[in-house]
Amino acid sequence: HRGVDYAGRTGTPVMATGTGKVIFAGRKGGYGKVVILKHGGRYSTLYGHLSRYGKGIRKGQRVNQGQVIGYIGSTGLATGPHLHYEFRVNGKHRNPLTVRTPRAAPVNAAEKTAFLKHAAAWTKRLNQLTGA
């Protein structure tokens, strides 16, 4: 297994982790519906088990970081809905959780505040459900 799986509900939007170009959008074996993005010369990312593709996503299309490229699903050999995410450097798999990448633009203050508020509400709810 050469990626990271992120559980989620079917239909949850999947966003590009970086600006790039779609080099593949289609079915690919056990991955089911897949989008592969090329980010400059060295980096590529793969998004697998999608239920459907984002609007206008096709080979050759340019995408921006944060743009919806697909939606979580369970296509291919997935046993439940999740995103399978892979990161490659010069074609070689790298752990997306530890690979060093160029710095991205920082999140603006308003978006960060909104995210933290949303995260706090969900954390509170999870704690209520688990009795933590």
In a domain, 118, yes or no: no
pLDDT digits (tens, 9 = 90+) for 46-99: 999 999 999 999 999 999 999 999 999 999 999 999 999 999 999 999 988 888
pTM for this prediction: 0.77
From residue 38, how far is each of 28, 107, 127, 132 by CA, in Å?
A: 17, 23, 39, 42
* Structural domain of 79: 4-106
Is residue 20 a contact partner of residue 42, using CB atoms and an 8 Å limit? no
In a domain, 93, yes or no: yes
Six token digits for residue 127: 């704690």
Question: Could you tell me which residues are beta bridge partners of residue 16?
Answer: none
Number of structural domains (the chain) is 1
pLDDT digits (tens, 9 = 90+) for 66-79: 999 999 999 999 99
In a domain, 116, yes or no: no
Give dist(CA 47, CA 23) in Å, integer: 12
